[in-house]
Amino acid sequence: MAEENSLRCFRTAVNSGTPMEVYFDDLTINHKRSPVVAGSDFYPFGMPMENRSITRESYRYGYQGQYSAMDSVTKWNAFELRMYDPSIGRWLSPDPYGIGDSPYIGMANNPVSLSDPDGGCPWCDLLDFLNSDEVFGVTHWNTPITLNEVVVTATQMPSNTESLFASELRQLNGFKNAAISGITSSLTDLNKSLNNTAYFANAVNHTLTGGAIELQMPQNNIQQQMQTAGLVAGGLGLRGMGPGSMTIPRSVAVTPSGPIAITQPIVVPVTTVLDVHGTVSAKSPVNRVNSAIRKGQAPKTIERADTGKILGEKDHVHFTDDNALNIDGTWKHGGRILTNAEKTFLSAHGWRLP
Amino acid sequence: METTLTKNKFMNALLKEWLNRVATKKSWNSFDDIHIDQLDKTIKKSEWIKKGFVFFEEAINCGKKVAPDLLIVLAFSLKGFSKYKGINFKGMEMMIKELEDSPPSIYAFPKDFKFFKLTIQHSLIIQKLEGTPNDITAFYHEFINDGEDQYRRSILFIKNNDLKKTGIK
């Protein structure tokens, strides 16, 4: 915890009513995350994994975070529109919108890539994501965009790389006018790479100058295109974006024992601990200069800084050659041309230069 | 012995030079002072008070010859605090602990120099400060400027005879 005296001192300095610089001596601030109080790993369809939960405090939400709350008796998730049984990956009532291959399948049978916030739309998060600025850094998908930097990393490149890539984009992703040119890096096993989620997700983050993809995607057709593009089946489409890129932070991991675990966002309280140590003070320029001198941070020619002892006397620095310069840039006694080091130091410590 | 004499000569020469400068250039306006470590580079902080008074006397003697119209004042900077501290020492022994890192200095002012008179008028007269000579008056001055977080504290010494010249009672 922060030392109360330090914080109080800091507050006093800041709230003194008069704008002033506040300086800290030997201050260290440790910004710590507060301890994780709740969290869990889940099987793909949302059943909590045994012995992989953190339950220091009760937390009502589980699978898919705040979208659902687990009933403590039935272990079903209460989504906004319907109940869900994570042990079988099925909804307990039909899809209210009547979409999908079956009205009961959970997360369109693709829980690794999809989420269903309310129980009626497993693509909603993806659509929100596609309409967000996170996708290739563009704002509106109903206007043509050009990706000037695209890379697909591989070791050998088949001759039909560009057309194949474009075809995949058109067919699987619904990008009607996808065209690719200028890919110059070597590619191998492109089909495999295009079906490799992580691979493609990484690829779009790399750089290949000269590559260009034109994408056009009318916003009002996105959902239709997503469905017809075989998103559920995977491929470049949905999974091409990569679960790591989804707006819902979620990572996929393979456990040593085999099952795929979906790690939900760990519940971390928003409060963090600010750990402050050190002496807090509003230092005068004189004290700052003297402190720097003691630490060997001042030019050797600056001997000391003094406060004025008589009313009207200004704070001043003494040089080793017995000259003394007032803080307002006038000479207390003596006078000479300052060296660059002296100028830099004194300016940084609140002195005006003569 | 020879070393002491040489030191005294050196000190006297510096004092005369300084007093001449103050008197001729009227550099009291810029609070032209001389710190005791300028007079003796080997002086230690523990000796500041004792040596300060020695140099003060020397400066007064020099002043009588070089600049008889100027008042000689010995000033010590004391440590400042965020709250008003007041006189928290009974004598010179205790005052050592209160000394700031700036060596004491000697000023020379004309008797009607307004800033000095203002300072004296806003100071507390220390009636009994153990260890000070009888013919010297001590003034304790503590104030804070707007925007600063620490009070400035200093103690000034002036010969009683010189004090009379200022007309301050």
Element (H, E) at B117: helix B114-121
Mutation test of the interface with chain A: which of B48, B117, B149, B152, choosing the one with the most A Cβ atoms within 10 A? Answer: B149
* A236 part of a folded domain: no
Beta bridge partners of A209: A149
Reported ipTM:
0.88
Q: Which residues pair with B35 in a beta bridge?
A: B105
Do the bridges between strand A83-85 and strand A90-91 make them parallel or antiparallel, or are there none, so unpaired?
A: antiparallel
Length of chain B: 169
Comparing A6 with A290, which gets the higher pLDDT? A290
Q: Are strands B33-35 and B105-110 parallel, antiparallel or unpaired?
A: antiparallel
The reply to whether residue A282 touches residue B30, judged by beta carbons under 8 angstroms, is no
> Which of A16-20, A74-78, A276-280, B96-100 is least confident?
A276-280
Q: Are strands B124-126 and B136-143 parallel, antiparallel or unpaired?
A: antiparallel
Structure tokens at A74: 């039935």
When mean pLDDT is compared over A167-181, A281-295, B87-101, the highest value belongs to B87-101
* Other beta carbons less than 10 A from residue A252's beta carbon: 17
User: pLDDT-based confidence at A295, cuts 50/70/90?
Assistant: confident
Quick check: B148 pLDDT over 80?
Answer: no
> Can you tell me the distance from the alpha carbon of B127 to that of A193, in angstroms, rounded to the nearest whole number?
93
Check CB contact of A18 with chain B, cutoff 8 Å. Answer: yes
Is the per-residue pLDDT at B150 higher than 50? Answer: yes
Final residue of a structural domain among A110, A132, A154: A132
| Encoded amino acid at A68, one letter | S
Q: Which of B31, B77, B143 sits opposite A332 (nearest CB)?
A: B31
In a domain, A272, yes or no: no
Q: What is the pLDDT of residues B30-84, one digit of tens each?
A: 999 999 988 888 888 889 999 999 999 999 999 998 889 899 999 999 988 888 8
Residue A210 within any structural domain of the chain: no
For residue A271, being part of any structural domain is answered with no
CB A247 within 8 Å of CB A134? yes
Work out the number of other CB atoms within 10 angstroms of the CB of residue A213: 24
Q: What is the pLDDT of residue A302?
A: 93
Q: Residue B167: its pLDDT value, please? A: 75
DSSP annotation of A187 reads -
Give residue A130's pLDDT. Answer: 55
- A216-225 mean pLDDT: 34
Give me the residues paired with residue A252 across strands.
A262
Task: Please name the amino acid found at residue A337.
Answer: I
DSSP H stretches of helix in chain A: 4-14, 124-130, 161-173, 190-194, 197-203, 222-228, 238-241, 285-294, 340-348
Q: Does A223 touch chain B (CB under 8 A)?
A: no
- Segment 291-330 of chain A within 8 Å of chain B by CB: 304, 306-314, 318, 322, 326, 330
Report CA B169 to chain centroid distance, whole Å.
19
Residue A195: its pLDDT value, please?
A: 35
Query: Mean pLDDT throughout A169-178?
Result: 44
What's the pLDDT at A218? 31
Range of A343's domain? 283-354
pLDDT digits (tens, 9 = 90+) for A104-123: 888 878 777 777 878 887 76
E strands of chain A, at which residues?
23-32, 38-42, 48-55, 61-62, 65-70, 77-78, 83-85, 90-91, 145-149, 179-181, 209-215, 251-254, 260-263, 273-281, 302-306, 316-319, 324-326, 331-333
- Residue in A19, A306, A333 closest to B30 by CB: A333
Query: Between A and B, how many residue pairs show a Cβ–Cβ distance under 8 A?
Result: 69
Do the Cβ atoms of A334 and B31 come closer than 8 Å?
A: no
Q: Which residues contact A48 (CB under 8 A, 6 or more apart)?
A: A40, A41, A42, A62, A63, A86
- Residue among A284, A304, A312 whose CB faces B115 most closely: A312
Residue of B25, B33, B117, B166 to mutate for A, most A C-beta atoms under 10 A: B33
Per-residue pLDDT, A128: 63
Name the domain boundary from A132, A153, A177.
Answer: A132
> Could you tell me if A6 lies within 8 Å of chain B, comparing CB atoms?
no
How far away is chain B from the Cα of A65, in angstroms, using its nearest Cα? 50
Q: CB contact, 8 Å: B32 with chain A?
A: yes
* Confidence check: pLDDT of A254 > 70: no
Give the pair of three-digit tokens for residue A207: 């750089």
Which residues are bridge partners to A214 per DSSP? A146, A179
| Residues B43 and B103: beta-carbon distance below 8 Å | yes
- pLDDT of A258 above 70: no
Residue A351 tokens, joined: 């002195």
Q: How confident is the model at residue A286 (pLDDT cuts 50, 70, 90)?
A: confident
Average per-residue pLDDT in chain A? 60
Q: Is residue A156 part of a domain?
A: no
Sequence-separated (6 or more) residues with CB below 8 Å from residue B5: none
Give residue B5's pLDDT: 57
The confidence score (pLDDT) of residue A23 equals 61
Mean pLDDT score across all residues of chain B: 87
Indicate the range of A1-10, A63-72, A197-206 predicted with least confidence: A197-206
> Which residues of chain A are within 8 Å of residue B107 when distances are taken between CB atoms?
310
Residues above pLDDT 70, as percent of chain A: 43
Distance from CA of A19 to the nearest CA of B (A): 7
pLDDT in tens, A11-58: 444 445 555 555 656 666 666 656 667 777 778 788 887 877 777 777
- For residue A88, CA distances in Å to A64, A192, B101, B164 come to 16, 30, 78, 103
The pLDDT score that the predictor gives to residue A339 is 92
Q: Supply angle C-alpha A61, A67, A72, rounded to 5.
A: 35
In B, minimum Cα distance to A328 occurs at B30
Range A241-262 average pLDDT: 28
- Please state, in angstroms and rounded to a whole number, the distance separating the CA atoms of residues B121 and A101: 96
Identify the top-confidence range among A147-151, A161-165, A287-291.
A287-291
| Global pTM exceeds 0.95 | no
Burial of B12 (0-12, 13-18, 19+ CB in 10 A): middle
Mean pLDDT of the A64-75 span: 79
Confidence of residue A222 (pLDDT cuts 50, 70, 90): very low
Looking at residue A50, its pLDDT comes to 80
Confidence of residue B16 (pLDDT cuts 50, 70, 90): very high
pLDDT of residue A67: 72
Residue A16 at interface with chain B, using a CB cutoff of 8 Å: yes
Which residue is it, tokens 């010590």? B76
Angle between helix axes B48-66 and B2-25 (nearest 10 degrees) is 60
Average of pLDDT values for A324-342?
A: 91
- B6 has a pLDDT exceeding 60: yes
Domains of chain A: total: 2
Q: Is the confidence at residue A9, as pLDDT, over 80? A: no
Q: Which of B9, B148, B14, B158 is nearest to B81 (CA)?
A: B148
